[in-house]
Amino acid sequence: MSSQKIPPHAELVFSWVRSRIYQWDQIMYDGSVSRFESIRFLDGAFVIPILPDGRILLTRQEQPLIEQFISLPGWSLDTPDEDPLHAAMRELQEETGYTSDTVVSWFEFTGTKNVATSVHYYIAHDCYQIADILPDPGEKIELFSVSFDEFLELSSHPGFHHHWNLLPILYEARIHSEKKETLKKLFYTK
């Protein structure tokens, strides 16, 4: 859980379904006091499912009040103490019907200056289908797969939803051959 951006003495001033707003008085360098604020957003977990043929499995989704979008399987943790890897694998199975026996942690995104969160990314190798898709009541999900290069192209796709923290990594791999090879090796080495 990432809360380094919110000090222990911060006061909870508002709680929503998926986020909480905290405020606190901060002593400034000149001795004055300013009111600071930060949002604590639910933690999440996403997985990059790689099929045995090397293609990457993605979802095309529809949800209420959101235009159709492309996403990796994943979303928020069900509870604050849910293990991120467990959440990623649960979401992979619910949203795609697939699982994997070989999953590696890729990176963790810990938010921005005023948003505290912890979003984990995993790579699942040799994914195989074990069930049908079990979408939430507010989801319509269609599966499709892309090549590694097509996956990198998503860094310019306006419909690649929820992954703005992943986009710079994909974009850099598109324009720097060494970064592309490093990422490709990470994706395809078990």
Q: Which of 70-79, 105-114, 158-167 has the lowest mean pLDDT?
A: 158-167
Helix, strand, or coil (residue 44): strand
Q: What is the pLDDT of residue 162?
A: 66
pLDDT digits (tens, 9 = 90+) for 32-82: 999 999 999 889 999 999 999 999 999 999 999 888 999 999 988 888 889
Domains of the chain: 11-40 (no CATH), 42-188 (3.90.79.10)
Chain segment 130-153, per-residue pLDDT in tens: 999 988 898 999 999 999 999 999
Strands (E), 8-101: 11-15, 19-27, 33-41, 44-49, 56-63, 66-71, 74-76, 98-99
* Residue 122 or residue 17, greater confidence: 122
